[in-house]
Amino acid sequence: MKKLLLHLDTDPVASTFDQAVAYDAGVDNIIAHGGATRDNVTPHVHGMIFTRGGKNLKNSAIFIGGSNVPASELVGKAVKKAFFGPVSVSVMLDPNGSNTTAAAIARKVLTDYDVKGKNVVILGSGPVGQRTALYMLKEGAKQVTLTCRSMERSKATVKEMKEHYGVDVLPGETRSDEAVKRILAEANVVIAAGPAGVCVVPEMALENNTSIEVVADVNAVPPLGVAGMEVMDNGAEKNGMRYYGAIAIGNFKMKVHRGAISSLFESNDAFLDETTIYDIACKIDNEQ
């Protein structure tokens, strides 16, 4: 029986990227719908669960994507609500690639490195930064600070994380180069998860720093997120720090994405999201 993937995307046109990765993961055919909302997905879900029964349900699955993360999460809730008990299919939620990207960052940072008892600073409080914070805490980080240019916004973000996940993350502000230098003064791990084409860690913020051990950056658009970073850095040692660039992280992200898609067809009741995709990433070799 063919492996069918229902691709629900909150953007007007379903992502070509996500479909290409799904085919590379072994999916036989994709049924793609853009403009997905919590109000219009139920008929599509029913089309997947009522056309196959019993053990054949595991040959159908659903992928939820889109650039609007909150909207995609609402679609995820609507999809689960459309199931009828055991009459369900497995679902993967990865809006804007945030879950697989964050999982890849975390696993790269942890290459031959133990984050237990360490201080982690994440520059960028968007979905990728938030999920990376969750994974760092899960791995035993002593303290995780999530920053952006506005302390007010940082405080609001960590408050939401506390309410939703029950975790304690510190807020931080990086409005100036001097502020970045101060917040990195006692950091052991630095992760740049800011917008493309913006250097969030300038050279002066790293000068004379003796605490930083690992630096990671997901920005592949010049200027890169970290001064002195190269996109192909894959554990390169520079000034006593280990560097991981966007291409090295991105290559592993693709492995995680494909692995997660493949796992959807092992059962008909998996729900892969920010709390479970990381578990899949941990089973994949992160060496390149």
Written in H, E and C, the secondary structure of 191-227 is: EECCCCCCCCECHHHHCCCCCCCEEEECCCCCCCCEC
pTM over 0.75: yes
CA distance 129 to 192: 8
Chain centroid to CA 263: how far?
A: 17
**In terms of DSSP bridges, do strands 234-238 and 241-244 run parallel, antiparallel, or are they unpaired?**
antiparallel
**What's the confidence (pLDDT) of residue 286?**
77
SS3 278: helix
Q: Could you write out the DSSP letters of every residue in 137-169? A: HHTTBSEEEEEES-HHHHHHHHHHHHHHH----
d(CA 197, CA 40): 36
Residue with tokens 């990865």: 94
Q: How confident is the model at residue 288, as a pLDDT? A: 59
Contacting residues for 13 by C-beta, under 8 A, at least 6 apart: 34
Architecture of domain 4-97+253-283: 3-Layer(aba) Sandwich (3.40)
Block mean pLDDT (10 aa), the chain, length 288 = 97 98 98 98 97 95 97 98 96 97 98 97 97 98 97 96 97 96 97 96 96 97 97 96 98 97 98 96 84
pLDDT at position 273, please? Answer: 97
How far apart CA 214 and CA 205 sit, in angstroms, is: 14
Q: Where are the domains of the chain?
A: 4-97+253-283, 100-249
CATH code of domain 100-249: 3.40.50.720
Query: CA-CA-CA-CA torsion for 72, 29, 249, 118, nearest 10 degrees?
Result: 50
Tokens (6 digits) for 267: 């059962």
Query: Is there a shared CATH topology between the 4-97+253-283 domain and the 100-249 domain?
Result: yes
Q: In the chain, which ranges are continuous DSSP H helix? A: 16-24, 42-49, 69-82, 98-109, 127-138, 151-165, 177-183, 203-206, 246-263, 277-281
pLDDT at 285 (0 to 100) = 87
